[in-house]
Amino acid sequence: MSQDYEQEKAVALEAVRAASEVCRIVQQKITPDVMEKKDRSPVTVADFASQAMICRALESAFPDDPIIGEEDASELRDAENRPFLDRVQQELSQVGLEASSEEVCHWIDRGNESEFSERFWTLDPIDGTKGFLRKGQYAVALALIIDGKVALGALACPNLPVSADAENPAGAIFFALRGQGSWVLPLDAEAEPNKIEVSRTSETKSARFCESVESGHSSHGLSARVANDLEITREPIRLDSQAKYSVVARGEADIYMRLPVNPTYREKIWDHAAGVLIVEESGGRVTDVTGRPLEFTHGSLLSANRGVVASNQKLHSNVLTALEENFKG
For 73-116, what is each residue's pLDDT tens digit? 998 999 998 998 999 999 999 999 999 999 999 999 999 999 99
d(CA 291, CA 279): 16
* pLDDT reading at 2 higher than 50: no
CA angle 242, 277, 154 (to 5 degrees): 60
Catalytic, out of 39, 65, 86, 129: 129
Interval 185-227: pLDDT, tens: 999 988 999 999 999 999 999 999 998 886 555 566 788 889 9
Residue 217 is predicted with a pLDDT of 52
- Residue 97's nearest CA partner among 47, 50, 62 is 50
Judge whether 264 counts as a catalytic residue.
no
Residue 168 is predicted with a pLDDT of 65
Q: Would you mind telling me the total number of residues written for the chain in this entry?
A: 329
Residue ranges of domains in the chain, CATH in brackets: 6-196 (3.30.540.10), 204-326 (3.40.190.80)
Mean pLDDT, range 27-39, rounded to an integer? 77
Q: Which helix (H) or strand (E) holds 17?
A: helix 6-28
Helix (H), strand (E) counts: the chain: 10, 12
- Rounded to a whole number of angstroms, the CA Rg of the chain reads 19
- Give the predicted TM-score (pTM) of the model: 0.95
Catalytic, out of 47, 124, 127, 271: 47
Judge whether 47 counts as a catalytic residue.
yes
Residue 37 is predicted with a pLDDT of 63
Q: How many CB atoms lie within 10 A of CB 303?
A: 12
Instruction: Give percent of the chain above pLDDT 90.
Output: 79
